């Protein structure tokens, strides 16, 4: 378990899982709360204060897992598939 402190807050949040997803995205597993102030991370009961203060953007949320990015990126939302039955016939004819 890891201790997470958001910048400017005294509250310590317990993180059950943590992973570097890419050079610019990290996952805090079962965190359940969020802030866009960046954070430091330490082993439970230690003062490691690993610096994640640049991770200020919520990249994605999956259940209680929160993904943060340090470059302002967010997970792209895929376009919903188009159902051809919903497209007016005029548009279908123009595309042909």
Q: Are 71 and 24 in contact (CB under 8 A)?
A: yes
Can you give the pTM of this predicted structure? Answer: 0.76
d(C-alpha 35, C-alpha 47), whole Å: 21
The pLDDT of residue 85: 66
**The pLDDT of residue 96:** 53
Burial 4-42 (b: 16+ CB within 10 A, else e): bbbeeeeeebebeebeeeeebbbbbbebeeebeebbbbe
- C-alpha 83, offset from chain centre: 30
Q: Which two tokens stand for residue 79?
A: 């376009």
Which tens digits make up the pLDDT trace of 3-53? 999 999 999 999 999 999 999 999 999 887 888 999 999 999 999 999 999
Q: For 51-76, what is the mean pLDDT?
A: 93
């Amino acid at each position: 378990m890891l201790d997470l402190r958001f910048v400017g807050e005294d509250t310590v949040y317990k993180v059950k899982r943590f992973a570097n997803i890419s050079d610019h995205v990290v996952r805090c597993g079962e965190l359940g709360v969020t802030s866009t102030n960046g954070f430091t991370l330490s082993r439970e009961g230690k003062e490691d204060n690993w610096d994640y203060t640049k991770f200020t953007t919520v990249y994605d949320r999956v259940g209680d897992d929160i993904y943060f990015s340090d470059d302002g990126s967010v997970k792209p939302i895929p376009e919903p598939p188009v159902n051809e039955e919903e497209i007016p016939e005029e548009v279908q004819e123009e595309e042909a």
